[in-house]
Chain A
Amino acid sequence: MPKNEIINIQNLYRTFQVGSETVNALNGVSFNIFEGEFVSIMGTSGSGKSTLLNILGCLDRPTSGEYYINGTAVSGLSKNQLSTIRNRKIGFVFQNYNLLARTSAIDNVQLPLLYNADIPMKERRERAIAALEAVRLADRMNHAPSQLSGGQQQRVAIARALVNDPVIILADEATGNLDTRTSYEIMTLFQELHAKGKTIAFVTHEPDIATFTTRTIKLRDGSIVLDQAIEQQSAAAALAQYEQNLTHTAI
């Protein structure tokens, strides 16, 4: 059975006009992501990773090129239709979590459901609890972001990305603000979600984080310089190894 094509981009360009200067953030990028893939997007700073992810996430439009998400052509869609795509098909995880302050974890997770009229009000809570359970944070559902650690906040954000059951999860430097240990924990979580069949595209500039994925796309100056399947390392194992090393150095 052929796998579903989740993302298909062809010859994507994105240029920014800054004063008289034209910045080519993306220079003809093409690739596909199939259901069940765990893709890391790598590249140095300024290589166009965030620009690409914003377009994949329908937050931004390409200057030219084609983009199909789950079979739907994005280029002809209105602003409101893009909002609906973001709501139903995409789960976003940001580097700085972007949780609503002074709002409980469960309310933060429920937020996307407010904009989804298909889900009845009484079902929202159940769904949010299920998503928090998936990130193993159900016991903290009434905590506000200020009462949670960075790793926990990122897990709330991941639960929020999961709650509408999107076709793809897009993460931009999701471990960028976290220490090594917590990064490994978050990657363990992503691997669990991947194992359950989720499709994930993950922007990072840390090579060791990329090893936990199944495929790496490398950008340089807005072009793909490398796109290859890699052998996936276990984040859980890396975490165990890391802790062992810590104990050894302590002794």
Chain B
Amino acid sequence: MNIIDLIKIAITALLRNKSRAFLTMLGIIIGIASVIVMVSLGKSSTLSVRTQLSSMGSNMIMIMPSRQMRGGVNMGNSNAKSLENKDYKSIAENTKYVAHVSPSVSSAAQLVYGSNNHPGSLQGVASSYLEIRKYELEDGIMFTDDQVKKYAKVCVIGKTIVDNLFTNGENPIGQTIRCGQVPMKVIGVLKSKGQNQMGQDQDDIVLAPYTTIQKRFLGISHFNMLFASATSEEESEMAATEITYILRSNHHIKSGAEDDFDIRTQEELLSTMSSITQLLTILLTAIAAISLIVGGIGIMNIMYVTVTERTREIGLRMAIGAQNRDVLYQFLSESVILSLIGGIIGIVFGIIIAYIATKLLNWPFVISQSAIFISFGVCAATGVFFGWYPARSAANLDPITALRYE
């Protein structure tokens, strides 16, 4: 029997039981659709994380105090005071691979302008912070080192702050806003960066000289964090090593003792992020694979039913000259076509769902071609694997017994 006949017979047989064929396919459809969705979403989330991180500056290095343990209790790192002005200065002066460094101290305050107010987070930084975090100014200027020295009451604000405080469309530059009790003069507005991959608004920010935040808001002399940037992405690790060396000697840490600070490069962050999404993808793909197996068992079940129903037909075909393999291929092609059609429908559904999901999540839409090809192959394999035993039981029927079957 040639392939055209096989396909014709299989399709005719499937069309006779349309709803049964569809229900049988459903398992495969769901399985394949979820594989496509999972793989696509996995890919687009990785991609979106990558673009987000590199827009934050791919050679950025974050230095923070390590978690403080007191009697086995994790005290968090917010109270840690290990990063001091001395550390900042020595990193700025004594390194080769560090291009910029900026302290960071955070405070929260209610921002008021006229009758508008907005809860704001204040970040005290040095002027190099813009360069490190890849922020750009839309308007105005950044504060100078001189203003930093004098605890100047000046700030640079993000788009969200502008939208919430300056509702009448006035130019914020030169205006004074009140941050808690402290009046601050707006000298610059940042270009919008939108949300980061965590869904945080990166424009809801007030930047001020770190000295101002330390003296006028917090009354402290240490930093919460240090931000630095390596001279290049490749040199991030070297820069991190330099910083480690400096901080260990500044903090008098004996060799063998643990660091009292943590250094994170973007490279590390990127790889943890993508390993998380990879793990998720593997997990969800495994779930999808299970539903494929369930779908395959559905096919197997229905093929056994079909073979039993058509025992006499099988006997007749054998009586008029069908060989074992003709019968085998006839039923095998039926199960393969069943699962392939299911697969195609699943792929189409998967693409549609992935498209909608990425639009809603604001992620880039990527379609994994390899996932489509692999799904297609898996469908064919499922059809063969789960159709094999029913088809073989048909092919092994004895023609006389089959013809007499009631």
Contact = CB atoms under 8 A, between A and B. Distances in A.
A88 B321 contact: yes
A116 interface: yes
A116 B16 contact: no
Interface residues of B, number: 21
A58 B257 CA distance: 90
A87 B322 CA distance: 8
Contact of A115 (B4, B313, B322): B322
Interface in B2-39: 2, 4-5, 16
* Chain A CB within 10 Å, residue with most, of B315, B318, B323, B403: B323
A233 to B, nearest CB: 30
Interface in A100-145: 100, 102, 111-112, 114-117, 121
A111 B4 contact: no
Given A59-B399, A115-B1, A121-B4, A98 B321 contact: no
B326 interface: yes
Interface of B: 1-2, 4-5, 16, 312-313, 315-324, 326, 399-400, 403
Looking at chain B's contact residues, is the secondary structure mostly helix, strand, loop, or mixed?
helix
A98 B324 contact: no
Interface string A211-250: 0000000000000000000000000000000000000000
23 contacts: A54-B400, A57-B319, A60-B400, A80-B323, A83-B323, A86-B319, A86-B321, A87-B320, A92-B319, A92-B320, A94-B403, A100-B316, A102-B16, A111-B316, A111-B317, A115-B1, A115-B320, A115-B321, A115-B326, A117-B2, A121-B2, A121-B4, A160-B320
Contacts of B323: 79-80, 83-84, 115
A23 B260 CA distance: 95
Contacts of B399: 59
B321 A112 contact: yes
Given A86-B321, A111-B316, A115-B317, 13 more contacts: A59-B319, A59-B399, A83-B323, A86-B320, A87-B320, A88-B321, A98-B312, A100-B316, A115-B320, A115-B323, A115-B326, A116-B321, A160-B320
Contacts of B2: 117, 121
A interface, size bucket: 20 to 34
Contacts of A114: 1, 5
A71 B392 CA distance: 33
A114 B326 CA distance: 10
Interface in A24-59: 54, 57, 59
B20 to A, nearest CB: 15
